[in-house]
Structure 1
Amino acid sequence: MNYISKFIVKYRIFKNQSISIKIIFARTGIMLAFLFGASAIGYIFHVMSLPEADIAIVYLLAVLLTARFIDGYFFGFWSSLLAAFFFNFLFMEPYYAFSVNTHSYIITFIVMLITALITSTLTTHARQNAIKAQEHEAEMKALYTLTNRLTDAADIHDIASTAIRTISDMLGSNVGCLCFDENGKPENTFIQQCSPAKQIWREISDPEEFRLRIEGLRTGCHKGGEFYDWPVYGKETTLGVIRISKEAAKMMNRTQVRMLHAMIESTALAMDRFRAAQQRQKINEAIVQERYRGNLLRAISHDLRTPLAGIMGTAEMLLNMTVQDERQYNLIKGIYRDADWLHSLVENILSLTRVQDGKLVLHKQQEAAEEVVGAAILHISRLHPEHEISVTVPDELLLVPMDAKLIRQVLINLLDNAVKHTAPQDEISVSVKKDNKENYAVFSVCDNGEGIETADIPNIFEMFYTSKTRRSDAQRGVGLGLTICDAIVKAHGGGIKANNRPGSPGAEFIFTLPLEGNDHELQ
């Protein structure tokens, strides 16, 4: 296939050279025909004893016709010179010699030469403007046709197929196009036009090396051994590469290069538009799925709240009626704990759906920080009496603008997380302090457990994220508690972070709440 393409291109070059020589001879013949015709008419005028000015006008007409029917300044310029010399040689005394007897003849010769040159220049310039206008019209028509075709394209490969068909028609060569995927990586195959009605797929030997070559491109195109590659750039990444054979690329003129760039831009816009439409469709599908998921979670959670409350109430009543030494006491206590865990999970799910729907409403009031902390510790101590929790609060009353119910939930989630990862004999502590410099309250929950894996710290507040390296005896979780904490704290204008305790085992969760309207996000 490559040898056939090279032979065709070489044949076209030889053919174009032959045609160029024929065109030059043809145009020279037309120019001489006009001049000889003007000389014949001038001879008739001379026999009729008409003045030389009339003969000069005939030669000017010949120059004008030459400029009108022959492209370029070259033939117009030479027809001007030859017309002046023919007029001097044939119709100025002494005849048939390049010399004159009077100064008036010299002036006439000079005026005629200047007039002929100006006339030829203006005529040629007007003709070239007309040719440029025609070329511009053809370019606009080609781009309009390409744009219409691209509008009907079904996918990226259809856009590439349409583009190379149009570019191949413009260049008279078999053009190819290699598409890039959404991640900016080239595909393993590219499509190439092999005839006006047929396209084929060809393989890329090393897509990764090809990608690096295009990314390192510093000029308009990459000049390879077989193809000259023009990248198709999108808004954010490379969308593809237009591949033109080396021989055809070398033969392109300025007009074709300009047209090629315009067509590549149209192709890039079409590909960008298709990718954007795909992205919008994926986003819409994700929104619909998220809405269905949220509705399902809300429906399930609401349906579970009532029976869970009944189970917890019954279990608590049975615990109060049972002596701790009895065998069934631990069984009832286990039922109560599991029901409470499910109840907390349901509350977290409902809170999460409210956050995602933007329905999390804060009822901020000045609340005493130690009271909110005490309520959270009381809740955890009732469920896990085997754990001791130490508390450190300021001596003076610390009032913090907050939604007490939500901040209590944050503390409960953090303490519950600490209990899951800490043995009963290990320390769990809660502290509250005021940062006077930044004007916010700092809450911290520390434990003496196994700590947080370094790889988990960046993702620990993500939804449904759970550590893959937890203890085998750690209590179960679904990765919603810390996500709820993050959402509630940020809704208050604060920030939250997690890290391992410096100098001792265990983890530390710190969150801040602004005082007196000072919004602060912890980094």
Structure 2
Amino acid sequence: MTLRPFLPALLLSAGLTLLMLPLQTDIDLSNTALLYVLLVVVIGSRYGRGPAIAAALASALLYAHVFVPPLFSLAITELQYLLAAGVMLVVALLVGHLTASLKAHAEQVQAREAQARALYDLARHLTAAQTPAEVEGITRHFLETVLQAREVRIVPQSAFAEPPAPLTPALLQAVLAARHPLLSAGAGPDRSLVLVPLLAAAGRGYLLACEIPGAAAGAGATRELLETASSVVLVALERTYFAEVARETEMRRSTESLRNSILSALSHDLRTPLTVMVGLADTLGLGKASPERQKSMLAALRNEALSINQLVTNLLDMARLRSGGIELNEAWQPIEEVIGATLQQVRSHWKDREVTLDIPAGLPPLRFDAVLVERVLWNLLENAIKYSPADTPVELVVRRVGEWLDVMVCDWGPGLPAEGGEELFGMFRRGQAESSIPGVGLGLAIARGIAEAHGGQVLAENRLGGGACFRLRLPIGNPPALEELEEAT
């Protein structure tokens, strides 16, 4: 116990005596006693029980010595004065004790309120934690703020065999076996190592370890705070554990679904053209077909090879998009050139299919990767040709809409489903689940992925009168002047 708080109590008692000494004859003894009692109340509310008792004793002695006749003597001869001094002492002691008790209770209430606010903040911050490392960081900040803790760490059960110093495997096992917090010697004489077990379901366990001041280590309030905080921390750790399990389960499910979809696509859409190619090659190898028949068979063989090439290209493109390994080779260039190159490929593949073109003059250049945008247009045109009657044209229309340039591919096919049109942009999604039309359902997904990599969009809508329109929307940006573009090329 320090003597520092007692010195102000004694000095204040002496000071009050000196202030009242000139008024000794003008103030009644009862009023003087009340002033001393008031002083004891002030000291008790400010410094606590011990200084209040000291002030009460000192005030009683000063009151009896200075103000009770005979003055400046403790030899009190009259019973009433002796009784007054005794009553004053008892009242001062009682009031000082009650005042100090109220002060201690108020401090406890304030401390519990501060702890409750801190626990609320801890629980609120832990709800946003996504990983055990984040939970440990939030817990460390809480204990450092509330208990002046140091070396805060959460040790999972998987690390119990080789825990960080000063923890030992035997100490950790003892804490888990005891199932309640334990104290151990800390790094310094005034520090205590606190070990709190965090026991989860299914045999999982953690250990919360920290060093706190030795004076607070044995307090009941500290133990209660640690137990409450540890339960909140354990809930957060369990939540992050099950969230990680759910993510891994979803990843495995998605991977399995993707694997099955790829295997299904390969088994159907690659095996069929390969079988046709083998049959055509065997027939050509016999050498019995006429020249016209051979020419027709070679053309069919080429078309099947192109179909397989397209399927493999789509699979590779989607793999690049999914892995994030796609790199844009962007340059300012007119969209008309890419459209022209794409139409040449389309007409070489579908010679008898009509594709109409509507491109206004004066379109600004765009910044894009020509090879990838050509892939988008090819997939949109291929989709329109496959899913529309052979005797209807496919329309390609280019329009400027505000700060965007829209390239629309429209057909006169069955159109989009009334519900779930957006699902067509998913991987391995087709307008008709069972169809004789070749394809693995990746074209639209690839088109949207490439467009979004350019900061654009691919949208789908039904057109008036029947059919569907797929819109490639690219940002115009701030194209350079024509002279600058010619110099760059």
TM-score relative to the length of structure 2: 0.50
Higher normalized contact order (CA 8 Å, seq sep 6+, divided by chain length): 2
Q: TM-score if structure 1 supplies the norm length?
A: 0.47
